[in-house]
Amino acid sequence: MKLRKKLVIFICVVALSGLGLTYLLLHLIMLGRFEKLDEAALRYKLENAVSSYQNELQSMKTQLLKYSVWDETYRFAESTDPADSISDAYLSSNYSRTTYEINHFDMMALLNPSGTPLYGGTYNQDSRSITPLTTEILALFRDIHQRLPEFSGAEDSTSGIVLLDKGPMLITLTPIVNSDKTKPVIGTAVAGRMLLQEQITQIWNETPSTIQITPVNPGRLAESKSSNIWMSPASNNVMSIHTTIYDLFGNPGVVLTLKHPRQIYLSGLQSITSFQRCFFAVTMLMCVASLLFVNRSILGRMSLLTRNIRAIGNSKDLSIRIGSSGKDEFSDVEHEFNRMIDSLEQAQEELQLQAMLDPLTQLPNRSLFFAKLNEAIASIKGTGRQIGLVFIDLDHFKTVNDTLGHDFGDAMLKEIALRISQVIGRYDVVSRLGGDEFTILLADIPDSDSISEQLLRIRETLSLPHRIQGHLLYNTASIGVSIYPQNGEDADFLVKQADLAMFHVKETGRNNIFQYSEDLEESIRRKKVLSQLLLSAAVNHEFEVHYQPILSSGNLKVSKLEALLRWTSPAYGPISPGEFIPLAETSGSIVNIGSWVLRQVCSDLRTFRQNGLELTVAVNISAMQLMQPGLSELLLELLHEYGLPSSSLELEITESVLVSGDSIFHSLQQLRGHGFRISLDDFGTGFSSLSYLRRFPVDVIKIDRSFVSEMTLGPQGDVLIKAIIELSHTLGLQVVSEGIELEEQFDMLRHLGSDELQGYYISRPVKSQEIPDFLTQNNLLYHSK
């Protein structure tokens, strides 16, 4: 489908959607809102109508109280002969035609306690005469006497509406009492007012056509659906609202109906119709204008651009350029197309250049470097001259990328490339093999002193700080060296040997220079053999667990031991843990070895407890063990198998474990949740920050032996350890000081508040079967101190 047709369809769809959406919003939302406003206004009018009805009843009650709470009325009601001259005078002076007209009463009566009228009359407004009570009203009085409770006090009253043959009547009843209300109620005063259309207009101040009062019937009750107020569907744009008014006896009496035109709705509908017409006309005009604009300013320019590009493609002449025909986005396209043609002319040259250079540092890449190295080897082969191959790997460069970002890392790599290029010789070659690895070809080495000087210059320039984007960054490098022809006569072999020497520097602490030798190869061969022997050492019973006692500083008793693994190889004899533990971690066998150690420790703990020794053993746990699933299950299974509590094991981790990720954090939390104590070993030697002490679930801090060995008796000799102990105690952690070899260290650490003490001064690691005898001697020894 052509773009022109797509644009036409799009504009039409947008216009129709806008019209349709506008219609729906106006009719569904706005008109609905107008109708709600009409309903709210009608409900408000109904509330006013009901309020007027209540006010009318209150007004009748107030007027009637003038007659019922009056000593003369009370004496009349007390009189045993209503026909005497005093009673006649009372009635003629107080219940005349004027009384009915002033109070707008259509009926008045005075009833004795049995409900019999002492006086009663109805007022005919047409003839302006007072007539006796009708049979219907007398029957009403009997119902009132039977169905309504008698008044018990002067403050009682009852008002409401009753239905008579002539129509509804408002009626109010008040008790007959003396003026100061000290005597008992002796009757009831009754007043009524017919609720005819004239009274409706007078009460509610509405036109006769808007207020209607009709008797309750079953149809009306069904229509209300048990609601006191309900609406009827609009008819001829007139809304109706109804409410039920209960009669004097509490039964539904009449329905008050209020009708009102939907003025807000009709006004809103008229406004919406006018708006829709204007909106439709404006939308159509905008559609036509949009189509004309698109056709002239977009489609026309696109057609011209397409013809020009097609002409260049058909001619296959890259010297042709498209002339600019404006200053809009199409002009930008024309300009960029011309730039693309320019780029195509340079692409081949740049591709050839980039194929031999590192894109970041512009140094020779691997391919070019190996070509140069092979050329150098070929040029001096058989001459007795030497070539040096330097392999450089930046230390902890990944930390820069991970913490500051790759832009910082790239800037550092470019600066390092520039620095190396400035310190090497004229005929030497430096290249970037990839990542943070550089190689240098030292083309001509007269003697060993010369290469040492060059290597020192390279190392010094690499150790200088880098100022990048306001940050001062320091960097070191691990450097491996191989010499042609002593270490090999092949380019690949020379690079491999230099890489091997660099790797040895990495393993032995970084930031150093090492030249490949046969001893290095022997060391690597030994590591490979030991790594293989480690896999079967546990099965061949070559491991043994020794225990170093840990002394409580308070009571000078041993309550804890640290488990230390020892390995005696049949081929190599005793192997230092410092040698085989890193190999086990590198090869992954540390997981199985750690499981063996945990089982052996639990077995020894059970033996200790059988001998009456309630001891806790601290066991070292590697990061790899913590990351393996099932460590918690293994520990719980061993505790259950050997009948031990979780408090009998304390799990030691190193600072490097804390920075290994969230998985370690969750694993430690889970272990601690099972009751195992967590100890942080070699504190102060790793890379963790103090914030880790608050975040990670650690219970014990073990101060590294390097801090203990540097303690002196001088004024500042214990400042660092004192600060560590105070900080740990502030965080609620226990402190163990290890590496104690002198009595002075022992006494100073006790004085500084170290909770537990460990070291050769107390005891060297001993075998498990020697622990009971040692504890007996130990307790006697320190008890005497």
> Is 580 within the bounds of a domain?
yes
Q: Are residues 328 and 181 in the same domain?
A: no
- Rounded to the nearest integer, the mean pLDDT of the chain is 85
* Segment 536-587, tens digit of pLDDT: 888 899 999 999 999 999 888 998 999 999 999 998 899 999 888 888 888 8
Domain annotation covers residue 114: yes
* pTM as predicted: 0.46
Nearest to 181 by CA among 73, 62, 58: 73
Give the residue from 253, 252, 227 showing the smallest Cα distance to 242.
227
Residue 445 and residue 451 in contact, taking contact as beta carbons nearer than 8 Å: yes
Strands of 477-484's sheet, edge to edge? 429-434, 437-445, 386-394, 477-484, 513-515
The pair of three-digit structure tokens given for residue 550, joined into one six-digit string? 């840990």
**Element housing 633 (H / E):** helix 631-642
Q: What is the pLDDT of residue 551?
A: 93
Q: What confidence category does residue 191 fall into, taking pLDDT thresholds of 50, 70 and 90?
A: very high
> 739-773: per-residue pLDDT in tens?
999 999 999 999 999 999 999 999 999 999 999 88
What value does the mean pLDDT take over residues 364-380? 90
Residue 384 is assigned to a structural domain of this protein: yes
Which of 57-66, 189-198, 422-431, 655-664 is predicted with the least confidence, judged by mean pLDDT?
A: 655-664
Tell me, what CATH number does 488's domain have? 3.30.70.270
pLDDT digits 0-9 by tens, 402-443: 888 889 889 999 999 999 999 888 889 999 988 889 999 998
In a domain, residue 590? The reply is yes
What is the pLDDT, as a whole number, of residue 126? 84
Q: What is the SS3 assignment for 548?
A: strand
Q: Which of 298, 331, 354 is the last residue of a domain?
A: 354
Q: Average pLDDT of 461-483?
A: 88
CATH number of the domain that residue 702 is part of: 3.20.20.450
What is the per-residue pLDDT across 283-299, written as a single tens digit (0 to 9) for each?
A: 888 888 888 888 777 77
Distance, in Å, from the CA atom of 381 to the CA atom of 383, rounded to the nearest integer, reads: 6
pLDDT band at 339 (very low <50, low <70, confident <90, very high): confident
Does one domain contain both 579 and 716? yes
Taking Cα atoms as reference points, which of 512, 514, 517, 513 lies closest to residue 487? 517
In a domain, 45, yes or no: no
Containing domain of residue 395, as a range?
366-516
The residue from 137, 172, 204 where one domain ends is 204
**Percent of the chain with pLDDT strictly greater than 70:** 93
Residue with more model confidence, 645 or 488: 645
Q: Which of 188, 192, 108, 191 is nearest to 148 (CA)?
A: 188
Q: Which of 204, 219, 240 is the last residue of a domain?
A: 204
Tell me the angle at which helices 590-610 and 577-587 cross, rounded to the nearest 10 degrees: 120
pLDDT at 784 over 50: no
If we measure between CA atoms, which residue out of 533, 466, 205, 492 comes closest to residue 371? 492
Residues 393 and 247 in one domain: no
346 and 426: one domain?
no
- Read off the pLDDT of each residue in 59-67 and give the average, rounded to a whole number: 91
- The answer to whether residue 4 is domain-embedded is no
Is residue 393 within 8 A of residue 448, CB to CB? The reply is no
Q: What are phi and psi of 325, to 5 degrees?
A: -120, 20
User: Could you give the dihedral angle defined by the CA atoms of residues 569, 573, 578 and 581, in that order, rounded to the nearest 10 degrees?
Assistant: 0
Closest CA to 392 of 338, 441, 325, 352: 441
Confidence bin at 331 (pLDDT 50/70/90):
confident
- Copy the structure tokens of residue 396: 């902890």
Instruction: Quote the CA–CA distance of 103 and 355 in Å, as a whole number.
Output: 116
Same domain, 452 and 552: no
- Summarize pLDDT for 690-732 with one digit per residue, the tens: 666 777 788 999 988 888 888 887 777 678 888 889 988 998 8
Q: Which amino acid is at 364?
A: P
Same domain, 656 and 717: yes
Tell me the two tokens of residue 664.
């370690």
* 478 and 466 fall within a common domain: yes
- CA distance between the termini of the chain: 100
* DSSP state letters, 212-249: EEEE--HHHHHHHTT-SEEEEEEETTEEEEEEEEE-TT
- Asked if 418 contacts 360 with a C-beta cutoff of 8 angstroms, the reply is no
* CB-count burial class (<10 Å; 0-12, 13-18, 19+) for 449: exposed
- Say yes or no: 188 and 232 in one domain: no
Total domains, the chain: 5
| Cα 364 off chain centre by | 49
Element (H, E) at 139: helix 135-147
- Which are the contacts of 360, defined by CB distance < 8 A and separation ≥ 6? 410, 413, 414, 432
- Backbone φ and ψ for 387, nearest 5 degrees, come out as -125, 135
What's the distance, CA 339 to chain centroid? 48
